[in-house]
């Protein structure tokens, strides 16, 4: 495993120490949980979906919790295992816990179970204060103009 030195980043960039921490966390040699299997899908530019195969789990046995930048999905079996003689047992039903790190402004907007799949819908919602703004210099005063203001002023000029 190769370690990266992020010290040059700190010389010219401010506030990216969290990004370096994420890279260091990802490089750890700890085994990533593979049960239950899951997909992470980019639905469109600002929408994501996590799909987890949770066959054998009931809705009441799964907890989804979002706190700050971590999404935690926990499955705990509450019903006793089926008793019987199995010739082959390939459907796992053990407890699990998955933690997903969320980027800034990514929020969980919903979750549903369908045909043994747990689908968690995520949306990136960038606040107005973080969206790009054009700064006009008008004499000695600085004025912030949003994209909506620009369109409005263009319509008035036409």
Q: Which residues, in sequence order, are CB contacts of 144 under 8 Å at separation 6+?
A: 133, 134, 135
Q: Structurally, how many domains does the chain consist of? A: 2
Domain match, 22 and 39 both = no
Residue 56 makes CB contacts below 8 A (sequence gap 6+) with 91, 92, 93, 116
Residues 24 and 36 placed together within one structural domain of the fold:
no
Please check whether residue 146 lies inside any domain of the structure. no
Domain membership of residue 22 as a residue range: 1-30
pLDDT exceeds cutoff 80 at 110: yes
The pLDDT value recorded for residue 71 is 93
CA separation, residue 11 to residues 16, 25, 72 (Å): 11, 21, 34
User: Is the Cβ–Cβ distance between 82 and 157 less than 8 Å?
Assistant: no
What is the value of pTM for the model shown? 0.64
pLDDT (tens digit, 9 = 90+) per residue, 34-81? 789 999 999 998 899 999 999 889 899 999 999 888 899 999 988 766
DSSP annotation of 115 reads: T
- Same domain? For 26 and 4 the reply is yes
């Amino acid at each position: 495993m190769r370690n990266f030195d992020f010290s040059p980043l700190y010389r010219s960039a401010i506030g990216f120490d969290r990004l370096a921490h994420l890279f260091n966390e990802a490089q750890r040699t700890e085994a990533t949980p593979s049960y239950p299997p899951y997909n992470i899908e980019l639905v469109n530019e600002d929408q994501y979906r996590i799909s987890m195969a949770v066959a054998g789990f009931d809705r009441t046995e799964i907890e989804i919790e979002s706190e700050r930048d971590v999404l935690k999905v926990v499955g705990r079996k509450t019903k006793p295992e089926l008793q019987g003689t199995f010739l082959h047992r390939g459907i796992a039903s053990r407890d699990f816990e998955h933690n997903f790190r969320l980027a800034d402004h990514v929020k969980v907007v919903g979750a549903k179970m369908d045909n043994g799949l747990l689908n968690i819908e995520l949306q990136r919602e960038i606040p107005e204060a973080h969206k790009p703004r054009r700064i006009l210099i008008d004499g000695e005063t600085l004025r912030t103009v949003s994209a909506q203001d620009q369109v409005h002023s263009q319509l008035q000029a036409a």
